[in-house]
Amino acid sequence: MLVYLHLAALGLYGLSAALALAPFAGFPVASRRWTLWVAGVGAGIHTVGVAQLSLVGTGPALSVLAWCLVLLQIGSELLLRAAAVALFTAPLAGGLVGLALLLGLAPGAQPSAGRNMWFILHVTLSVLGLALLALAFISAALYLLQFRELKAKRFGQVFQLFPPLERLDRLNHVALVAGFPALTVGVLLAVGYAVRYAGGMHVDPAQLVWGSFTWGVLGWTVWVRVARHWAGRRAAFASIVGFAAVVLVYVALKLAQPGTERFL
């Protein structure tokens, strides 16, 4: 059942990606209602699947990340009419769900019943923080693409279909400002979980390094935006560099410690 739900979500995310990419292949732009409906139904089915996951292991973590990304895609479209976000989120979510299916959706041991709530909140908030950092990266990438087209006076598909610069900058700002507290609470819950149930701070070094690094990167991007008033292109570059660094460090740590039982 879990696999079928993920397969259905994968199909709808694929359709959502196809609808987002269609205008760039010369097809007409799909209506807003239709794109929202496809992503919404996909997210709905995926929600049922995510509710059945143990949340332990790489596969489930990727599935939750994909779910958060699609929810953020829908939120961006509804609140800021940033439909172009789907150009990145829909294929990314589809890819993550596909990868989760390949790696296995229930690879590891279940956390004990008493620890479940801590664990669910830790995973959900941490992954949400990561997804918001990804959204900041996506809005930054869209910003730079639109900026380049506007500067170069090219009035093609990017000019017509991408949101205005200021709206993308606001989306980047909101994603970072919302992502930092989510990740902070997620990390604090991990610390609390370790102290309460693992008898102290006996955390895997890779988890500690990556968690701290990601938190530090997200904190820095928020700091430069809020305290240093970075905006526009400079803030976009900061988000892209930050997200790329987080992904690269994760890949490096995962290569050093292969296995799908744990996220890291």
Partner 1 sequence: MSIAVLGVNHRTAPLEVRERFAHALHEVPGALARVLEAGAAGGVLLSTCNRTEFYLAEPQEAVPEAVWTLLGERLSGRGDRGERSAQPYGYAERDRDAVRHLYRVSAGLDSMVLGESQIQGQVRDAWETSRPQAGPVLHRLFQSALLVGARVRTETKLGTGTASVPSAAVAVASKIFGELAGRSALILGAGDMAELAASCLVAEGARVTLVANRTYERARAIAEQLGARALTLDEAWSHFADTDIALCSTAAPHAVVTWERVAPAIAGRGGRPLCILDLAVPRDVEPAVGQLENVFLYDVDDLQAVAGQAAAQRRGEIPAAEHIVNEEVERFWAWYGGLAVVPALKEFRERLDAVRAVEVDRALRRFKHLPPEDREQLDQFSKALLNKFLHEPTVALKAAADRGRGYALLEALKELFGLERGDGP
Position among 18, 150, 191, 203 found at the interface with partner 1 (CB under 8 A): 150
Which of residues 1, 153, 202, 258 is near partner 1 by CB under 8 A?
Answer: 153
Residues 215-244, interacting with partner 1 (CB under 8 A):
229-234
Q: Is 253 in the site for partner 1 (CB under 8 A)?
A: no
Q: Could you write out the DSSP letters of every residue in 140-193? A: HHHHHHHHHHHHTT--SHHHHHSPPHHHHHHHHHHHHHHHHHHHHHHHHHHHHH
Closest CA to 70 of 107, 109, 96: 96
- What distance in Å separates the CA atoms of residue 128 and residue 68, rounded to the nearest whole number? 6
**Closer to partner 1 at the Cβ: 149 or 204?**
149
Nearer to partner 1, 165 or 241 (CB): 165
Q: According to CB under 8 A, which one of 166, 216, 244, 261 is a site residue for partner 1?
A: 166
φ, ψ (nearest 5 deg) of residue 109: -75, 155
Chain-centroid distance of CA 147 in Å reads 23
Burial class of residue 212 (count of CB atoms within 10 Å of its CB; 0-12, 13-18, 19+): exposed
Q: How far is the CB of 124 from partner 1 (least distance, A)?
A: 32
Query: Smaller CB distance to partner 1: residue 202 or 229?
Result: 229
* Interface residue with partner 1, options 33, 151, 199, 202 (CB under 8 A): 151
Least distance (Å) between residue 6 CB and partner 1:
36
Residues in contact with partner 1 by CB under 8 A are 146, 150-151, 153, 155, 159, 163-167, 229-234
